[in-house]
């Protein structure tokens, strides 16, 4: 027990140390920025509008006035609602969403460490293989961020642990119920995170067929109620929430959030080629260490070679994990063009491959398994992956596709100074997103995403004025977004110029 507690504390210390290496202490108080500022601000807007507009959990909304006052949603917004509750207590700040997400991740990766340690029966390999997840630039970025993807993935890690406890005992209904809860929770946060859950369902199905053919086998020793619950409840609960969100969005005349798959077979050949280009040149280097990534196919082949042909379970695990990964990849293929975070569920694949190889080496050559030389080589690989993850994540941080929106950082005091109050609605021309500038200004209103460009923009502006728009913010780099006629009509009363943004009273 003392040794186990020591390794647990050592693992927690390693997590904190890596957080410092990745400059999380500097990231804590930063606004949404860098890659996917757009999607980060979508989540942050939901939390802010809970706090300032309505704490009705079942009515999430953005600051963007489209449809019925911006009422729309997608994933189960518990993270954003919890952040709004903290805003009520401590006041508004972005750091709360980051801290909630990090708590999910640290808890999840600790359970992944416990899972691999239980599977390999070795704390060193449990720690290194699980911490390898924390070397992926994608994980480094999104674990301390505003998106629900890593928290959802973290919940699946907890689900894996309780599933392994069940597989070890084959009688623990309590463990299976716990796994059911965490997979259902993960599915609510991000339905795509259920990839690993479906892999486990497949494992259970194939093992059941295998065991059924054995003599003297009986299902009576299995907790059937827990098995039925595990196989149905995560899908059912996730499906109920997705159905509610679809109904909620349609009822509020909003179709902004993706609520369906975007499969490969529905795409044109040129669009498919474009997605492949994005994957190869933009995203794969951010998935994990390039050298390790290129070695994965050989690792996969090696894992099959090492598997003892009399051992059924590892082969099934390999088969189902890869099968679910392929199915997910082609079901959401179109999303890989702009959304690197859709790659996050794949991070479990190299972990599973590594764990199976470690166990097979242990079964075939105990000396190699316990060798300090081998462990030293593994640790050096891990250190290289940490260095790579830190370096690539830094480039992602500087590659800021929405840098112009930094002009809106912390200008709210100036808005108040010039009489633009919090309840005043603003038209933000030049912001083509769903409300990045609105979020930073802490105002509700419209962006160029909702306006015509530029011929009919006059009609759109007039419509916004009817709906309550009082001010117009114009990025001086986006003056071609507004027609000459509209400029003559609406850009008469300039209030202020700040950071290259002109504000006009309508």
Whether residue 500 is predicted with pLDDT greater than 70 in this model: the reply is yes
Whether residue 84 is predicted with pLDDT greater than 90 in this model: the reply is yes
Residue 470: phi and psi, rounded to 5, are -115, -20
CA dist 5 and 11 (Å) reads 10
Return the sign of the alpha-carbon dihedral for residues 186, 192, 194, 196: negative
Whether residue 310 is predicted with pLDDT greater than 60 in this model: the reply is no
Whether residue 394 is predicted with pLDDT greater than 90 in this model: the reply is no
DSSP state of 430: T
Q: Higher confidence at residue 161 or residue 399?
A: 161
Determine which of 120-124, 178-182, 361-365, 444-448 has the lowest per-residue pLDDT on average. Answer: 361-365
Q: Strands 425-429 and 445-447, how do they pair? A: parallel
CA dist 259 and 12 (Å) reads 37
* Residue 407: per-residue pLDDT: 86
Whether residue 315 is predicted with pLDDT greater than 70 in this model: the reply is no
DSSP state of 31: P
DSSP H helices in 146-289:
149-169, 173-189, 195-212, 224-251, 269-278, 284-287
DSSP H helices in 399-441:
412-417, 436-441
* Residue 293: per-residue pLDDT: 66
Give the DSSP H/E element, type plus range, for residue 120. helix 95-120
Q: Are 116 and 357 in contact (CB under 8 A)?
A: no
Q: What angle do CA 310, 311, 316 make, to 5 degrees?
A: 125
Looking at residues 24-48, what average pLDDT do you find? 93
Q: Which of 99, 122, 177, 141 is nearest to 362 (CA)?
A: 122
DSSP H helices in 221-311:
224-251, 269-278, 284-287, 290-306
The pLDDT-based confidence of 92 (bands split at 50, 70, 90) is very high
Q: Higher confidence at residue 210 or residue 28?
A: 28
Q: Are 48 and 63 in contact (CB under 8 A)?
A: yes
> pLDDT tens-digit profile of 326-344?
899 999 999 998 899 999 9
Whether residue 171 is predicted with pLDDT greater than 80 in this model: the reply is no
Whether residue 5 is predicted with pLDDT greater than 90 in this model: the reply is no
* Residue 287: per-residue pLDDT: 84
Whether residue 312 is predicted with pLDDT greater than 70 in this model: the reply is no
* Residue 351: per-residue pLDDT: 87
Cα distance from N-terminal residue to C-terminal residue, the chain: 70
**Residue 395 in tokens:** 């480039």
Determine which of 102-111, 261-270, 292-301 has the lowest per-residue pLDDT on average. Answer: 292-301
Query: CA–CA distance from 406 to each of 296, 418, 477 (Å)?
Result: 39, 20, 14
Q: Angle, nearest 10°, between helix axes 123-131 and 348-364? A: 160
> Which residues contact residue 18 at a Cβ distance below 8 angstroms, ignoring those fewer than 6 apart?
131, 134, 386
Determine which of 61-70, 238-247, 452-461 has the lowest per-residue pLDDT on average. Answer: 452-461
Looking at residues 197-218, what average pLDDT do you find? 74
Residue 57: phi and psi, rounded to 5, are -55, -35
> pLDDT tens-digit profile of 432-446?
899 999 999 999 999
Q: Are 123 and 131 in contact (CB under 8 A)?
A: no
> pLDDT tens-digit profile of 145-165?
999 999 999 999 999 999 999
Residue keyed to tokens 């392994």: 164
* Residue 218: per-residue pLDDT: 59
Q: Higher confidence at residue 405 or residue 129?
A: 129
Residue by residue, DSSP assigns 74-109 as -S--HHHHHHHHHHHHH---THHHHHHHHHHHHHHH
Burial (CB count <10 Å: 0-12, 13-18, 19+), residue 28: middle
Whether residue 213 is predicted with pLDDT greater than 80 in this model: the reply is no
Looking at residues 441-467, what average pLDDT do you find? 89
Residue keyed to tokens 């920025």: 33
Burial (CB count <10 Å: 0-12, 13-18, 19+), residue 262: middle
CA neighbours within 13 Å on the CB side: how many for 341? 22
The pLDDT-based confidence of 131 (bands split at 50, 70, 90) is very high
Q: Are 427 and 464 in contact (CB under 8 A)?
A: yes
Whether residue 297 is predicted with pLDDT greater than 80 in this model: the reply is no
Q: Which of 75, 451, 9 is nearest to 248 (CA)?
A: 75
Q: What angle do CA 134, 139, 142 make, to 5 degrees?
A: 140
Burial (CB count <10 Å: 0-12, 13-18, 19+), residue 374: middle
Whether residue 356 is predicted with pLDDT greater than 80 in this model: the reply is yes
Query: CA–CA distance from 248 to each of 148, 194, 238, 385 (Å)?
Result: 20, 23, 15, 43
* Residue 451: per-residue pLDDT: 87
Give the DSSP H/E element, type plus range, for residue 475. strand 469-475
> Which residues contact residue 308 at a Cβ distance below 8 angstroms, ignoring those fewer than 6 apart?
314, 360, 363, 364
Looking at residues 236-242, what average pLDDT do you find? 96
* Share above pLDDT 70 across residues of the chain, in percent, rounded to a whole number: 90
* Share above pLDDT 90 across residues of the chain, in percent, rounded to a whole number: 60
> Which residues contact residue 210 at a Cβ distance below 8 angstroms, ignoring those fewer than 6 apart?
312, 316
Whether residue 219 is predicted with pLDDT greater than 70 in this model: the reply is no
Strand order in the sheet with 494-498: 445-447, 425-429, 469-475, 501-505, 494-498
* Residue 342: per-residue pLDDT: 94
Model pTM? 0.93
Determine which of 34-38, 158-162, 455-459 has the lowest per-residue pLDDT on average. Answer: 455-459
Residues in the chain: 506
* Residue 493: per-residue pLDDT: 92
Written in H, E and C, the secondary structure of 330-373 is: HHCHHHHHCCHHHHHHHHHHHHHHHHHHHHHHHHHCHHHHHCHH
Indicate the average pLDDT of the chain.
88
* Residue 215: per-residue pLDDT: 55
């Amino acid at each position: 027990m003392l040794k186990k507690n020591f390794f647990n504390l050592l693992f927690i210390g390693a997590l904190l140390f890596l957080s410092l290496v990745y400059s999380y202490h500097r990231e804590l108080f930063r606004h949404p920025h860098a890659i996917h500022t757009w999607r980060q601000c979508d989540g942050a807007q939901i939390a802010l509008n809970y706090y300032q507009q309505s704490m009705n959990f079942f009515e999430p909304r953005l600051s963007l006035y489209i449809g019925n006052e911006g009422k729309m949603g997608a994933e189960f917004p518990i993270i954003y609602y919890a952040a709004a509750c903290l805003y009520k207590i401590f006041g508004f700040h972005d750091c709360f969403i980051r801290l909630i997400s990090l708590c999910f991740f640290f808890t999840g990766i600790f359970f992944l460490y416990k899972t691999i340690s239980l599977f390999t029966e070795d704390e060193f390999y449990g720690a290194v293989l699980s911490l390898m997840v924390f070397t992926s630039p994608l994980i480094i970025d999104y674990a301390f961020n505003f998106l629900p993807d890593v928290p959802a993935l973290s919940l699946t890690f907890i689900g894996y642990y309780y599933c392994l406890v069940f597989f070890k005992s084959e009688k623990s209904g309590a463990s299976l119920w716990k796994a059911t809860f965490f997979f259902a929770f993960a599915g609510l946060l991000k339905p795509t995170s259920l990839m690993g859950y479906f892999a486990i369902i497949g494992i259970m199905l194939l093992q059941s067929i295998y065991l059924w053919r054995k003599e003297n086998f009986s299902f009576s020793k299995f907790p059937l109620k827990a098995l039925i619950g595990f196989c149905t409840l995560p899908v059912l609960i996730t499906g109920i929430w997705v159905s509610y969100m679809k109904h909620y969005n349609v009822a509020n005349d909003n179709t902004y959030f993706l609520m369906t798959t975007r499969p490969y077979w529905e795409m044109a050949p040129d669009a498919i080629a474009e997605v492949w280009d994005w994957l190869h040149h933009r995203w794969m280097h951010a998935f994990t260490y390039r050298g390790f990534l290129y070695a994965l196919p050989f690792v996969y082949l090696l894992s099959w070679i090492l598997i003892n042909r009399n051992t059924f379970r590892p082969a099934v695990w390999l088969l189902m994990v890869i099968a679910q990964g392929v199915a997910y990849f082609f079901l959401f293929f179109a999303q890989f063009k702009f959304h690197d975070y859709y790659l996050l569920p794949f991070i479990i694949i190299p972990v599973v491959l590594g764990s199976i190889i470690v166990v097979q080496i242990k079964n075939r050559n105990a000396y190699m398994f316990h060798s300090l030389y081998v462990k030293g080589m593994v640790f050096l690989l891990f250190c290289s992956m940490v260095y790579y993850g830190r370096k690539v994540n830094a480039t992602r941080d500087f590659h800021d596709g929405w840098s112009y929106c930094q002009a809106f950082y912390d200008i709210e005091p100036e808005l108040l100074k010039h009489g633009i109050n919090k309840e005043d609605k603003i038209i933000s021309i030049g912001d083509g997103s769903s409300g990045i500038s609105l979020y930073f200004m802490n105002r509700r209103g419209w962006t160029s995403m909702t306006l015509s460009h530029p011929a009919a923009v006059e009609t759109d502006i007039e419509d916004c004025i009817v709906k309550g728009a009082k001010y117009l913010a114009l990025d001086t780099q986006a003056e071609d977004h507004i027609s000459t006629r509209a400029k003559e009509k609406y850009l008469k009363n300039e209030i202020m110029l700040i950071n290259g943004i002109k504000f006009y009273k309508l």
